[in-house]
Amino acid sequence: MTALESAARTDRPPTTLVGRLPALAVFEYHLVAYRRTWRAGVFSSFLLPVLTMLGFGLGVGAFVDADVAGVPYLEFIVPGLIASTAFQVAIGESSWPVLGNFEWIRIYFAQAAAPLRVRDILGGHLGLVLFRVLTSSAAFLAVAALFGALRSPWAVATLPLVLLLGVAVATPVFAYSSSVRSDSYLALLFRFGVIPMTLFAGVFFPVESLPAVLRWLAYASPLWHAVDLCRAATLGVAPVWSVPGHLLYLAAWAVGGWLLASWRFRRRLVF
């Protein structure tokens, strides 16, 4: 029995940390549910980085005549792939699951009927999203280390960076997913948002090679800021833009997304 279920069945005041922090109880609920399905994703969490290293880093890299930005192609794309993996996991876990919790299994409404606030429901689910982002990125980082694609011990700094990226992109998608009633709109999000952003945010080639208009669109993407920071960390060099500037930009996305998601959740859950 989870802390959320036990709190609903008793009137006694909670004595555990999970009981005192309702968002942790919601996170525990999602984690218990994930415990039943995690095995399906473990293999792909390691297989996908391996195939990516072999296909893009060694396969495509063998046809790149010169170094990219002064480093071998494999070392250039690894930090971008770590950031884009976190980006896609965060959006994937914030789209269909959120829509399903509103429209199909309607678990959010059951949680709202318990003594939980909107921020507890939202924060608990966001905790699971960040857990998935962290584990997926750590797996990718471990595989990259095995391939010798990390130049600097600062590469471990990519883990807190991808967590910030996860919050920056997951919270706006939470707001979007809670505003639509059909998964057709989520397909549009991936087709016209996620895929172009992944291709043109400096993951596979420097954005400086893009035309000026597209370059500034790339700079507006939170993914590019995370890619630049992760690349600086894995290569042990200074980023293209300032570190505080990158962090503040991602933090602005995170704060704005949280406020928007909280507003949308409150509109759906508070009667």
Q: How far is CA 130 from CA 30, 160, 163, 209, 231, in A?
A: 12, 10, 6, 32, 21
Query: Is residue 149 situated within a structural domain?
Result: yes
pLDDT the model gives residue 20: 63
The alpha carbon dihedral of 114, 36, 134, 164 has a sign of negative
pLDDT the model gives residue 57: 67
pLDDT in tens, 98-123: 999 999 999 999 999 888 899 999 99
For residue 221, what are the domain limits? Answer: 15-269
On whether the CB atoms of residues 126 and 167 are closer than 8 A, the answer is yes
Query: Is residue 89 situated within a structural domain?
Result: yes
| Closest CA relative to residue 76, chosen from 204, 224, 222 | 204
pLDDT the model gives residue 13: 45
Query: Is residue 142 situated within a structural domain?
Result: yes
pLDDT the model gives residue 240: 82
| Closest CA relative to residue 92, chosen from 204, 170, 202, 205 | 170
pLDDT the model gives residue 61: 66
pLDDT the model gives residue 12: 47
Query: Is residue 4 situated within a structural domain?
Result: no
Query: Is residue 2 situated within a structural domain?
Result: no
Query: Is residue 228 situated within a structural domain?
Result: yes
User: Total domain count for the chain?
Assistant: 1
pLDDT the model gives residue 204: 87
The alpha carbon dihedral of 166, 172, 175, 179 has a sign of negative
pLDDT the model gives residue 1: 47
Q: In the structure encoding, which two tokens stand for residue 220, read together?
A: 């507006």
Query: Is residue 161 situated within a structural domain?
Result: yes
* Residue segments in the chain with a per-residue pLDDT below the cut of 70: 1-20, 41, 43-45, 57, 61-62, 64-67, 271
Query: Is residue 188 situated within a structural domain?
Result: yes
pLDDT in tens, 41-83: 676 667 777 787 778 767 776 676 566 777 888 888 899 999 9
pLDDT the model gives residue 146: 86
